[in-house]
């Protein structure tokens, strides 16, 4: 089931809780490394294991990262935030409580502008963002009658970003999620890796009749780990809730899990079964008091933000909103684009050509080979070199694609490929004329038809002549000369 439109008469209300793993080198309350994928329990210190007598010590870098996020979303930074204990028993929660923030989160009330598919800019409220530690992982595979516990992840710093219930469709939710995803990577506070769980979200979903004032009862969908699944899970849940309500039932407040194989959500626990977390301020940690100078220092360290960069791309390079949005979706892509443009001079037409190439051919080959930009087989300089050869008519755009493939596979400069393969564009008028004449001589029937008024055959002659020149004829020149020749003496 993947319906993106909501049935008539219903409104969908969604709020997201995003868990962004902060890209600190060590854990939030201990000195252990946070690297992913190590052997189980090799990155768990006595503090992470909750050993008797051990105490948490706050990682200042995690605080700095949270403040960065707060400032980037225009949020209020809490001058005195407090860590609290969330108490519950679970084998992968070593202390029997999670250190989180409850009443006084470090980041409070901000917002972010989300560019929707239809070009509308929507402001989504951010209720709060707070620091907390991650739990470990329970492993069930390959163990008989037992569960394994890996505490490598225990104590990894998380920023939980809670949105207002401002989102009105699964698509809006995904657009918001992507906007936050882009932002945290710009800020270099999270690697955004959804497969490894560095960026994950819970969705609070409810529906109500259009015009209703009160929100419907919500369900929380836990831990959905890709943009596509977020959309599918919400869409499934919306239809499920509407189905229940339309058949006279009522929604039970509960936590639901999304099963991506069956494409459905199912009940995990109801409100009644929910824990009473008995939050209270953690006496082992002092309140986090932030000096105005510290906040000012973090503010000064903020990079150009995605929406600022997109706006600049529109004004500086004459790009459309959509293209600017795509190019600025990651800081690496935007930087690559600007590196290319930087080599091309100030011609705004070329800036647009460059945008098309970066979003098109370049991104396609990266995707095909599963490479990050940093590992690209064609550098920004090399791509600029290729675009320069299009601009100076050495090759056509079509040939350029062929050249680009070879540059990618053989890691060569554009000029080297053009020379080696003899792909230099034919701009010599007499050579093109000779080719045209040969095609005309070989196709007397089509020539007669054309001359008797069948204009559509023009394309046939373009194709044949191009073929005869090995695709190298300058297309504009070819067009012009062909018109004259075909018209007859």
Partner 1 sequence: MTLHAKSIAELSAGLRAGEYSSVELTQHFLSRIAAANAALNAFVTVTADRALADAKAADRRRAAGDAGPLTGVPIAHKDIFCTDGIRTTCSSKMLADFVAPYDATIVERLSAAGTVLLGKTNMDEFAMGSSNETSFFGPVKNPWNPAKVPGGSSGGSAAAVAARLAPAATGTDTGGSIRQPAALVGISGIKPTYGRVSRYGMIAFASSLDQAGVMAPSAEDCAYLLAPMSGFDTRDSTSVQRPVGDYVEELGQSLKGMRIGVLREFFAEGLESGTGARVQAAVDEFRRLGAEVVEVSCPNLPLSVPTYYVVAPAECSSNLSRFDGVRFGHRCVDPKDLMDLYKRSRGEGFGAEVKRRIMTGTYVLSAGYYDAYYLKAQKVRSLISADFKNAFDKVDLLIGPTAPTPAFDIGAKFDDPITMYLNDIYTIGANLAGLPAISIPCGFVGELPVGVQLIGPHFSEGRLLAAAHAYQRETDFHRRIPAAYA
Per CB under 8 A, residues contacting partner 1 are: 46, 49-58, 85, 87, 89, 91, 94-97, 149, 276, 278-280, 283-286
CB of 93 to partner 1, least distance (A): 9
Contact by Cβ (8 Å): 104, 87:
no
| Alpha-helical runs (H) found in 121-226 | 170-186
Q: Which is nearer to partner 1, 85 or 128 (CB)?
A: 85
Both tokens of 339, joined, read 């590196």
Burial class (CB within 10 angstroms; exposed 0-12, middle 13-18, buried 19+) of 292: exposed
Beta bridge partners of 149: 138
Closest CA to 331 of 384, 379, 373, 378: 373
DSSP-derived letter for residue 38 is: P
> Residue 57 CB, nearest distance to partner 1 (Å)?
5
Give the β-pairing of 148-150 and 157-163: unpaired
Nearer to partner 1, 55 or 375 (CB): 55
Shortest separation between residue 147's beta carbon and partner 1, angstroms:
8
Q: How far apart are CA 312 and CA 318, in angstroms?
A: 9
Query: Which lies closer to partner 1 via its Cβ, residue 286 or residue 420?
Result: 286
> Which tokens go with 2?
């993947």
Q: Give the nearest distance from C-beta 55 to partner 1 in angstroms.
A: 5
Q: Which two tokens stand for residue 146?
A: 């037992």
Closest approach of partner 1 to the CB of residue 214, in Å: 23
**Shortest distance (Å) from residue 76 CB to partner 1:** 24
Angle, CA of 57, 61 and 62, to the nearest 5°: 75
Smaller CB separation from partner 1, 50 or 165: 50
Closer residue to partner 1, CB minimum distance, 150 or 231: 150
For residue 179, give the nearest of 195, 196, 161, 197 by alpha carbon. Answer: 161
Q: Of the two residues 29 and 357, which places its CB atom closer to partner 1 in the complex?
A: 29
Q: Are strands 264-270 and 254-259 parallel, antiparallel or unpaired?
A: antiparallel
CB of 285 to partner 1, least distance (A): 5
What distance, in Å, lies between the first and last C-alpha atoms of the chain? 65
Q: CA-to-CA distance for 84 and 82, rounded, in angstroms?
A: 6
Contact (Cβ atoms closer than 8 angstroms) between residue 169 and residue 4 = yes
Q: Where are the beta strands (DSSP E) in 227-375?
A: 254-259, 264-270, 280-281, 288-289
Return the number of the residue (58 or 416) whose C-beta is nearest partner 1.
58
Instruction: For partner 1, give the closer residue by CB, 27 or 85.
Output: 85
- Rounded-to-integer distance, Cα 407 and Cα 421, Å: 12
**Rounded to the nearest whole angstrom, what is the least distance from the CB of residue 218 to partner 1 in the complex?**
19
Instruction: Identify the sign of the CA torsion 71, 76, 78, 79.
Output: positive
Residue closer to partner 1, measured from CB, 97 or 317? 97
Nearest distance from C-beta of residue 27 to partner 1, angstroms: 14
Q: Closest CB to partner 1 among 49 and 382?
A: 49
Cβ of residue 139: shortest distance to partner 1, in angstroms?
14
């Amino acid at each position: 089931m993947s319906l993106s439109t909501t049935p008539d008469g219903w409104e969908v209300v969604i709020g997201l809780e995003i868990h962004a793993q902060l890209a600190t080198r060590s854990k939030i309350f201990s000195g252990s490394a946070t690297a992913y994928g190590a052997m189980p329990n090799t990155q768990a210190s006595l503090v992470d294991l909750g050993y008797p007598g051990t105490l948490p010590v706050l990682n200042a870098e995690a605080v700095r990262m949270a403040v960065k996020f707060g400032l980037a979303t225009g949020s209020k930074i809490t001058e005195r935030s407090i860590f609290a204990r969330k108490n519950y028993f679970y084998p992968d929660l070593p202390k029997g409580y999670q250190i989180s923030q409850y009443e006084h989160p470090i980041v409070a009330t901000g917002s972010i502008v989300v560019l929707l598919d239809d070009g509308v800019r929507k402001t989504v409220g951010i209720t709060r963002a707070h620091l907390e530690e991650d739990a470990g992982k329970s492993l069930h595979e390959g163990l008989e009658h037992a569960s394994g516990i890996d505490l490598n992840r225990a104590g990894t710093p998380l920023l939980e970003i809670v949105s207002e219930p401002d989102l009105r469709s699964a698509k809006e939710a995904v657009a918001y999620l992507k906007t936050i995803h882009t932002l945290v990577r710009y800020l270099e506070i999270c690697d955004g890796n959804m497969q490894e769980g560095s960026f994950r979200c819970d969705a609070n979903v409810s529906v109500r009749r259009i015009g209703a004032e009160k929100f419907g009862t919500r369900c929380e969908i836990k831990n959905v780990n890709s943009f596509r699944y977020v959309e599918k899970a919400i869409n499934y849940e919306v239809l499920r809730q509407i189905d229940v309500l339309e058949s006279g039932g009522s929604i039970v407040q509960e936590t639901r899990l999304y099963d991506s194989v069956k494409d459905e959500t199912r009940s995990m626990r109801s409100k009644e079964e929910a824990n009473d977390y008995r939050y209270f301020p953690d006496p082992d940690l002092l309140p986090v008091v932030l000096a105005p100078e510290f906040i000012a220092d973090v503010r000064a360290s903020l990079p150009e933000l995605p929406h600022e960069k997109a706006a600049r791309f529109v004004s500086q390079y004459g790009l459309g909103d959509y293209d600017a949005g795509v190019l600025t979706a990651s800081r690496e892509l935007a930087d690559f684009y600007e590196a290319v443009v930087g080599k091309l001079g100030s011609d705004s037409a070329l800036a647009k050509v460059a945008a098309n190439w970066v979003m098109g051919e370049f991104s396609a080959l990266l995707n095909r080979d599963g490479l990050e930009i940093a590992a690209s087989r064609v550098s920004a300089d090399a791509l600029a070199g290729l675009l320069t050869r299009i601009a100076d008519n050495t090759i056509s755009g079509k040939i350029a694609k062929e050249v680009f493939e070879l540059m990618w596979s053989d890691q060569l400069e554009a000029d080297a490929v053009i020379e080696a393969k003899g792909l230099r564009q034919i701009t010599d008028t007499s050579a093109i004329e000779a080719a045209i004449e040969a095609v005309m001589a070989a196709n007397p029937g089509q020539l007669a038809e054309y001359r008797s008024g069948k204009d559509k055959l023009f394309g046939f002659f373009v194709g044949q002549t191009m073929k005869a020149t090995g695709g190298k004829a300058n297309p504009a020149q070819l067009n012009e000369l062909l018109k004259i020749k075909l018209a007859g003496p």
